[in-house]
Amino acid sequence: MKQISTLFTLVTLSVSSFFCQKASAQTVYVNNGSSTNYNLLPGDSLCIKSGTYTGNITSWNAGAKISVEQGATFRPNSLQNYVFKLIVRGNATLPNFSTLNGFSLENYGNITVTGSAQMAQSAQTFNNYFGATITFNGDFAMNISGGHFINQGDMVVNGTFSINSAATFANRRSIVVNGNINVNGGTLSNLGRFYATGKMTFASNSVFQNNCRAIADNGIEISNSSTTVYNNGLIWSTASKNNSYFTNSGTFISTANAYVKAANLTNWGRIRGAGYFYFTNYTIGGGQIGEGGNNVSDTIRVYDVTRSNPNTIFDSHNSNVYPNVKYQVFNAPDTLNASIGACAPETATLPLAVKWNYFLVNLSNNVPVLEWSAQLDNSTNFEVQRSYDGNNFSTIAVVLSSEEMQKYQYADQQVNTQVKVVYYRIRAVEPSGYVKFSDVRSVRFANTTNTTVQVTPNPFTSQFSIGYTAAARENVQIRIVNLSGQVMVTRSATMNAGFNSLTVTEASSLTKGMYLVQIVSENRVVASEKLLKQ
């Protein structure tokens, strides 16, 4: 990794030295931080050398160049056509972002696009180099044939990321998409960490080459027969319990050391090659799985955790399963290992993404006690944040992660107990600077709302009773939540002012373990209590 960092330093210093040179430009403008307006003709060059630029680029033409030096900030009030060359060594905040023929991007610093963005018209190339960051705060679409995006740094899309029309995207380090990933006619090559909080879909005439870690929280779907996916790393659908799925209607080719992990499998296409397929719920072995003939040396190893009869391999067989497909019990893939597959060298220092296991807040002697657990890199910091209105949060404590710690706890001794309700969340800050928030939890104080809940017996085996004291007559919802935050049981009830008692029989089907009973009124948790099922 030291060699990469040294190379990056040499390259960026070399590029920086050329930023404000005249070269063959017709006119070179140098700005040290102002609101001056510019009209850039073909061959003109604007160099933001220092300070913050906040003016207007009223017109710029193909062949023009804008460069932002280290320490400077390019924050134009408005932009017109993106047909120039943009080189960022410092910082850039861009408003509307729709690039046209002739535009190119070289980012060595930090870029934020405040709205939706698209790569349009004809061939263009974007480069986000090692050590650089680029953030799209809305949707980002690559809509042109011949459009290329090479990401060697850190990239965030806070919306839907679409790769269309024979465009190509190559990831060599890290991209986080806080939405869905749609590849429709484009090519996605991943040699780093590719993570989506939503769904990952590969549609008509798409190609996906995964050599490292491709992760989607809400399912992975290969939806068209003309789509081909090559897996030489880990493809993981992470949704909690048995909601995650891997659906294939195209051609999926796997190498010997590659993994697929999900709850459910539905295959109507073709699965070829070798590798490991690990499922925890329902599997449909349709389409073609494996290869026919007597000379096939590859082995596809399938472990459906819920299968009681290994001779059938899948829950449902809708076609022949070829002999090189074997039922084999093996351990779940190490999803925390950042080096699964043939990852690019840029990922060598890449920290592990934070994945929340659970986050709970309960009152203990009228003191909010926060408890949480997460999968994380050891250098991650947790910032405990509090809010009195549910919108504006402030950090009240920092908790450092530790290799020895599996669970974390914080008691808020300084909270204002005279308010009706207080909100909490955890802000996890990874070593790379990535931030991932927990869900928001709230508590109400007994001395202000006079609402409490008691559960008996606790532990219980089949049913239990709730004793609830309400300040006034109200309609509430009783919820039983597991430690992953998933609602397992929901029941509505009407409570009268004063003490109420009711029996909950719906919990008899729950598996053994720890749960949380919540009383929800007006879409807010007003009381809660831990509950153990034996």
Reported as a pLDDT band with limits 50, 70 and 90, residue 449 is very low
Q: Are 235 and 261 in contact (CB under 8 A)?
A: yes
Residue range 216-253, pLDDT digits in tens: 988 999 999 999 999 999 999 987 656 789 999 999 99
Across residues 358-385, what is the average pLDDT? 83
The amino acid occupying position 380 is T
408 has a pLDDT exceeding 80:
yes
| Top CATH class, 355-442 | mainly beta
Phi, psi of 303 (to 5 degrees): -125, 105
On whether the pTM is more than 0.85, the answer is no
The amino acid occupying position 114 is T
Closest-CA residue to 415 (of 363, 484, 482): 363
Buried b (16+ CB within 10 A) or exposed e, 208-234: bbbbbbbbbbbbbbbbbeebbbbbbbb
pLDDT at 13: 41
Phi, psi of 347 (to 5 degrees): -90, 0
Across residues 390-405, what is the average pLDDT? 83
pLDDT at 123: 83
Helix (H, G, I), strand (E, B) or coil at 346: helix
Looking up tokens 């992975």 gives 220
pLDDT at 241: 59
Query: Which 8-state DSSP code applies to residue 351?
Result: P
Higher pLDDT, 525 or 225: 225
The amino acid occupying position 215 is I
- Beta strands of 354-393 (E only): which ranges? 355-364, 367-375, 381-387
456 has a pLDDT exceeding 70:
yes
Reported as a pLDDT band with limits 50, 70 and 90, residue 58 is confident
Q: How many CB atoms are closer than 10 A to CB 499?
A: 12
Residue range 308-346, pLDDT digits in tens: 777 788 988 777 788 889 999 898 887 765 556 788 887
481 has a pLDDT exceeding 60:
yes
Q: What percent of the chain has pLDDT over 70?
A: 88
Q: Do domains 355-442 and 450-533 have the same CATH topology?
A: yes
Across residues 167-189, what is the average pLDDT? 95
In a 13 Å sphere around the CA of 427, the CA atoms on its Cβ side amount to 15
Please state which of the four CATH numbers 1.10.3720.10, 1.10.1740.110, 3.40.50.150, 2.60.40.10 is assigned to the domain occupying 450-533: 2.60.40.10
Domain residue ranges of the chain, discontinuous segments joined by +? 1-136+146-156, 180-342, 355-442, 450-533
Q: What percent of the chain has pLDDT over 90?
A: 42
Is residue 31 classed exposed, middle or buried when 0-12, 13-18 and 19+ CB atoms within 10 A define those classes? buried
Residue range 60-90, pLDDT digits in tens: 777 889 999 999 999 998 776 677 889 999 9
Residue 111, beta-bridge partner list: 92, 134
Q: What is the mean pLDDT of the chain?
A: 84
Closest-CA residue to 160 (of 117, 218, 119): 117
10 has a pLDDT exceeding 80:
no
